[in-house]
Amino acid sequence: MDKFTTLTGIAAPMPLVNIDTDMIIPKQFLKTIQRSGLGKNLFDEMRYTQDGAEIPDFVLNQPAYRSAEIIVAGDNFGCGSSREHAPWALLDFGIRCVISTSFADIFYNNCFKNGILPIVMPQEVVDVLMADARKGANARVTVDLEAQTVTTSDGQSFAFDVDSHRKHCLLNGLDDIGLTLEKAAAIDGFEAKAKTLRPWA
């Protein structure tokens, strides 16, 4: 998993509330267990017509936001079914951070496990960030995980909270397997001792 330290990028404004996981990645794309390749179908039913043509007014189809790395979203982002394909699709598109007033719990947890930083902010702060995101590609937002701040294109800075363990994992690029491997020496030592004490096992 890639480390998340400081991200400066384009923020796409998505003021819709209750964006659920089926909107993020519709069910027909869940047959794969590969984490790559899902970005082209991110928000598929909002991005494309039934015959596959782009819908020009959808935010990620607009030239200013095609390279967005941050989404500023309405309340309750990632609700609905608990599909891990949702953060996979976001990450494959290039989204590394989502900012909202609230997230569904399972989606929120899945983001951290896949290298995406979900940030919960008060409504008044989200409103400021949403307005800044609407400025387009020239307005770059900076997310500093170490300092736990989000800074707008005009220099307004807002602090956010994040669990210290999850912060450690993102800063060091550690998923569940990486966390286990951090203890590899201790595990090897335990196994060696166990073989001595219980050679029949």
User: Can you give the pLDDT at residue 195?
Assistant: 75
Reported in sequence order, the residue ranges of 64-156 that DSSP labels E, i.e. its strands, are: 70-73, 97-100, 117-120, 140-144, 149-151
Task: Calculate the alpha carbon distances from 4 to 16, 23, 126, 143 in Å.
Answer: 26, 26, 21, 10
Q: Are 60 and 35 in contact (CB under 8 A)?
A: no
- Strand pairing of 97-100 and 70-73? parallel
User: Can you give the pLDDT at residue 186?
Assistant: 67
Give me the residues of the chain with pLDDT under 70, please: 176-192, 194, 201
Task: Calculate the alpha carbon distances from 35 to 31, 132, 172, 179 in Å.
Answer: 11, 31, 20, 20
User: Can you give the pLDDT at residue 189?
Assistant: 65
Q: Are 148 and 162 in contact (CB under 8 A)?
A: yes
Q: Which two tokens stand for residue 65?
A: 């936001």
Q: Are 75 and 46 in contact (CB under 8 A)?
A: no
At 23-37, the pLDDT tens digits run 999 999 988 777 789
CA dist., res. 4 & res. 41, Å (int): 24
User: Can you give the pLDDT at residue 146?
Assistant: 98
pTM over 0.85: yes
What is the three-class DSSP state of 67? Answer: coil
At 158-175, the pLDDT tens digits run 999 999 999 999 999 997
CA dist., res. 96 & res. 94, Å (int): 6
CA dist., res. 168 & res. 8, Å (int): 20
User: 170 burial class (0-12, 13-18, 19+ CB within 10 angstroms)?
Assistant: buried
